[in-house]
Structure 1
Amino acid sequence: MIIGYARVSTTDQNCDYQIDELTKSGCEKIFIEKASAKTKDRPELTRLLDSLRQDDIVVVYKLDRLGRSLKDLITLLEMFKSNGVQFKSLSENIDTTTSTGKLVFNVIGAIAEFERDIIVERTKAGLKAARARGRKGGRKQKLTDKQIKLAKSMLQDPSVQKSDVAKHFNISRPTLNRYLDAAPDLEQESLFK
């Protein structure tokens, strides 16, 4: 089945031109979305994705009607490919049912992968530079080593429950357990050193 997807950014806009072009291209069913691409809630796209079967062809008037970003677009196109669904974009002349269209799709995929790799490299470089300047990533620790030692010391008393110790430090019991499990080598006797 040839399935069209049309989207306009606001309810004030008209998607008649997209619908006309999709109809001319042979679409048997057209899903019409009246929502910004920035919103993640796109019920018509969800309905389209749920209705897809192997050998279906998804057609859009322009690529930007389908994806919110290059990453989002590539994710959708890869999902189509892995499920045996073909894709056509009328304006950009992309048609994965042809050899040329597959080539263009693979080039777009390679560019997206390159973009992801660059982001990963930049992130790693930024974290390395921050560590070199003494900054530590992640959440701020809820308990210091001294507090962990104190918690262990408190738990030596059989009348003290873990939930009492957790309340004392204003943390949850699972958080206390994580700290106790992660720091088994802390000695209670060194509490006041």
Structure 2
Amino acid sequence: MSIWPHIATTGRLIGYARVSTKDQRLRMQLDALNGVNCDLIYKDHGVSGAKASRSGLDAMLAELHEGDTVVVFKLDRLGRSVLHLADLLVRFQNEGIHFCSISEGINTTTPGGKLVFHLFSAFAEFQRDIIAENTRAGLDAARKRGAKLGRPPAIDIGVVLEAHRTIQQEGLTISGAARLLEVDRSTLSRHLNNTRTLSF
């Protein structure tokens, strides 16, 4: 009898494994992903979760089709932050893709597991509200202290966060998000990079 859970799905099982440093081993994760009979497995070896781009993750996202199920050994193997993880799960839901984390027993192919999508969607929205509120409060406090802040930001933090949402949850490029929100692409890219280092 297999020690790994059975994942009932009509689509493919697409596994993803990651370790942060080159001297760590993927074996435990790969054993688990093979144990549930993944059809494909994508890997990032020696790549920090903090990196915005990971070749294995990017390739997996490009491969996914409606009805597939993404499988990981643990939640923290997928997202570089809790917000990034939440965004990915919202994207999966939007694209009709299921998600399973073996260690945490999360499986959105089950009725109870579908609640996970709603929880992470609510968390992503809540987290962005907190980021926007804290950013604006910080600027107001600095002004009251008499700090010289230079020119006002070219793009409001709310627009930056909405751009980040569309990129992460809907798979838009920065150029696509800039067109959607009617802002300059290079300005948006600069603001996204500045905000990401603080919050994402």
Q: Secondary structure at the match of 1:7?
A: strand
Asked if structure 2 preserves the Cα contact closer than 8 Å seen for 1:77 and 1:87, the reply is: yes
**Gaps in structure 2 of 5+ consecutive residues:** 1-11, 153-200
Offset of residue 44 of structure 1: 0.9
Counterpart Cα distance in 2 of 1:33 and 1:96: 24
Counterpart Cα distance in 2 of 1:105 and 1:89: 13
- Residue 23 of structure 1 corresponds to 34
CA RMSD of aligned residues (A): 1.8
1:106 counterpart (118, 132, 136): 118
Deviations 1:129-180 (A, max 9, x none): 233344454449xxxxxxxxxxxxxxxxxxxxxxxxxxxxxxxxxxxxxxxx
Asked if structure 2 preserves the Cα contact closer than 8 Å seen for 1:55 and 1:84, the reply is: yes
Asked if structure 1 preserves the Cα contact closer than 8 Å seen for 2:72 and 2:78, the reply is: yes
Determine whether 1:82 maps to 2:125. no
- Residue 48 of structure 2 corresponds to 36
Deviations 1:87-144 (A, max 9, x none): 111111111112221213322332332222122112222222233344454449xxxx
Counterpart Cα distance in 2 of 1:58 and 1:95: 10
**Structure 2 CA distance for partners of 1:24 and 1:75, relative to 1, 3 Å:** same
Asked if structure 1 preserves the Cα contact closer than 8 Å seen for 2:87 and 2:121, the reply is: no
**How many residue pairs were aligned?**
140
With normalisation by structure 1, the TM-score equals 0.66
| Mapping for residues 47-126 of structure 1, pairs under 5 Å | 47-126=59-138
2:14 counterpart (3, 15, 24): 3
With normalisation by structure 2, the TM-score equals 0.64
Which moved further from structure 2: 97-106 or 128-137?
128-137
- Residue 129 of structure 1 corresponds to 141
Counterpart Cα distance in 1 of 2:116 and 2:53: 29
Counterpart Cα distance in 1 of 2:48 and 2:137: 34
**Structure 2 CA distance for partners of 1:101 and 1:138, relative to 1, 3 Å:** farther
Offset of residue 36 of structure 1: 1.6
**Structure 2 CA distance for partners of 1:94 and 1:138, relative to 1, 3 Å:** farther
Q: AA paired with 1:96?
A: T
Which of 1 and 2 has greater Rg?
Answer: 1
Counterpart Cα distance in 2 of 1:20 and 1:63: 16
State the structure with bigger RCO (CA 8 A, min sep 6), 1 or 2: 2
**Structure 2 CA distance for partners of 1:135 and 1:46, relative to 1, 3 Å:** same
Asked if structure 2 preserves the Cα contact closer than 8 Å seen for 1:94 and 1:105, the reply is: no
Aligned residues with identical type, % of pairs: 51
